[in-house]
Amino acid sequence: MNSSRGITIERHFIDQQELHPEASGELTRLLHQLAFAAKMITKEVRSAGLSDILGEAGHMNVQGEVVQKLDEISNDVIYRSMDHAGVLCCMASEERDEMIAIPKEFRCGKYTLAFDPLDGSSNIDANVNVGTIFSIHKRVTPEGTPGQVEDLLQPGRKQVVAGYIVYGSSTMMVYTTGHGVNGFTLDPTIGEFLLSHPNMKIPPRGKYFSVNMGNRHFWSEGVRRYVDHLTTPNKELGTPYSLRYIGSMIADVHRTLLYGGIFMYPMDYKDPQNPKSKLRLLYEAAPMSMVVEQAGGLSTNGRMSILDVQPKGLHDRVPLFVGSKEEITDLNHFIEKYNVI
């Protein structure tokens, strides 16, 4: 029997809602809109190579119009799908410096949405998998008032929904409401997301590690020694692991979720006085970490679970290590021993 049994994502949203008798249906409406936006962005991504919307913004397309970059188009698709739904009080996007308010003419809801409209978009010209990442919290300021930045600045552990849409050989939507992880594959012939990966679980240990080895000399000693451990032949330990790195975090983490192993974007000590991280907490690290932890994996910034990191700003960056439970546990032993992340 096919595991999807023809269960559409809309049916799954309703099933999830029925787990919460007190539910108002607002969250279900939000998820419906996200699935709709995913189909719209799929259309744009699939036709990108043909309709001259690749590359930098500002150039003119064949119709003589100013062309937006695909990530800006994706940003607008999500904004337009969500702003009038009456379920959000505010949003945050990688593409916008400030908090995105809900237009006055629309009702303010009780949720917030933080999103990366098209993660990995720098690779889109090379036809590499890209994706949309989303994170939903319940507001903390009084209902009926305009949303505030503090509604968005909540730790990942308080997410009510986290997930992503990966635009690859097929479009998949993977999400959790805190009761496990489920994956849906878009059937383009009927325009429906069908349950293809029920109750996803990450293997406790994998055979792959995923990191940009070009930055090896800029990592802390703990991380460098851990990666050296992974690449030193040892039959008993099952090393060396294989390196898989696409340079599109959503694709690298999605593969890690399916096959096991570890994805890393460590702190960069190129300037020891001013160490830097690259990945964003609110709409990249926190939602992806919630999905992986809900699937039985772990995440860390080198000190604590990503889900316990308190955001200070909408675009905070964090070191990210996420993957199989046993890999993160091994990494932590190296970090503790050398005491730097």
From residue 254 to residue 293, the character string flagging contacts with ligand P6P as x (rule: CB under 6 A) and all else as - is -----------x------------x---------------
Is residue 120 a contact residue for ligand P6P (CB under 6 A)? yes
42, 129, 248, 289: which one contacts ligand P6P (CB under 6 A)?
248
Which residue, 94 or 327, is less far from ligand P6P as judged by CB? 94
Return the residue of 6, 25, 55, 247 that touches ligand P6P, per CB under 6 A.
247
Q: In what order do the strands lie in the sheet with 100-101?
A: 100-101, 88-93, 111-119, 130-138, 161-167, 171-176, 181-187, 192-197
Which of the ranges 116-124, 165-173, 196-204, 225-233 carries the binding residues for ligand P6P, by CB under 6 A? 116-124
- Name the residue nearer to ligand P6P (CB basis): 92 or 249: 249
Q: Is 216 helix (H, G, I), strand (E, B) or coil?
A: helix
The smaller minimum CB distance to ligand P6P, of residues 89 and 292, is found at: 292
Question: Is the torsion defined by CA of 119, 122, 123, 125 positive or negative?
Answer: positive
State how far the Cα of 331 lies from the Cα of 227, in Å rounded to an integer. 9
Among 119, 192, 293, 327, binds ligand P6P (CB under 6 A): 119
Kindly tell me which of 120 and 222 has the beta carbon lying closer to ligand P6P: 120
Instruction: Determine the Cα–Cα distance for residues 216 and 256; give it in Å rounded to an integer.
Output: 20
Q: How far apart are CA 139 and CA 89, in angstroms?
A: 7
Nearer to ligand P6P among residue 202 and residue 285 (C-beta): 285
Q: How many angstroms from the chain centroid is the CA of residue 101?
A: 22
Which run of H or E residues covers position 93? strand 88-93
Q: Which of 89, 153, 165, 249 binds ligand P6P (CB under 6 A)?
A: 249
Picking from 183, 48, 167, the residue whose alpha carbon sits closest to that of residue 117 is 167
Whether 29 and 87 have beta carbons less than 8 Å apart is answered as yes
For residues 308 to 327, the per-residue mask of contacts with ligand P6P, x marking binding by CB under 6 A and - elsewhere, is --------------------
Q: How far apart are CA 250 and CA 233, in angstroms?
A: 29
How many whole angstroms separate alpha carbon 128 and alpha carbon 123?
Answer: 6
Mention every residue, 6+ apart, whose C-beta is less than 8 A from residue 23. Answer: 17
225 vs 278, beta carbon nearer ligand P6P: 278
95 lines the binding site for ligand P6P (CB under 6 A): no
Give the count of residues interacting with ligand P6P (CB under 6 A): 9
Minimum gap (Å) between residue 270 Cβ and ligand P6P: 12
Q: Which residues bind ligand P6P (CB under 6 A)?
A: 119-120, 122, 212, 247-249, 265, 278
